[in-house]
Amino acid sequence: MGKLLQVRVSAATIDPGKVEDAWPILSHLAYPPGNAYAPAQRGVLELVDTLQARVSAGEVPDGVSARIRPGVEALKRLVESLKEALASWQAEKAQMLTEKIEDALDDLEGQAGYK
């Protein structure tokens, strides 16, 4: 790497608009109507961060929060592992972790369903 120019491996959501289509319940929990604090970018990683923040702050209904809290915590660990893999240029591991994150979100979407 150069002194000023740095090469980075990163993960980004190509089409953030599809996140809400893929996980509508989780998106609604993360970004309820009228939420002025929703991030400008609503990608996969932002969804995980926002869910974790809202669950931790008690901003998700208690029954739903109790069901999804373990899954949200597991997702945060997966995201941290992804960041570590990206930082150490482990592209294959990062790819595997992106798939695990999406699978975990699929599972969590089912757990979050209102009952």
**CB 26 within 8 Å of CB 108:** yes
* C-alpha span between 27 and 11 (Å, rounded): 20
pLDDT tens per residue across span 37-89: 677 789 999 999 999 999 999 999 999 999 999 999 999 999 999 999 999 99
pLDDT tens per residue across span 12-45: 999 999 999 999 999 999 999 887 667 778 999 9
Q: Quick one: pLDDT at residue 44?
A: 97
- Which pTM was predicted? 0.89
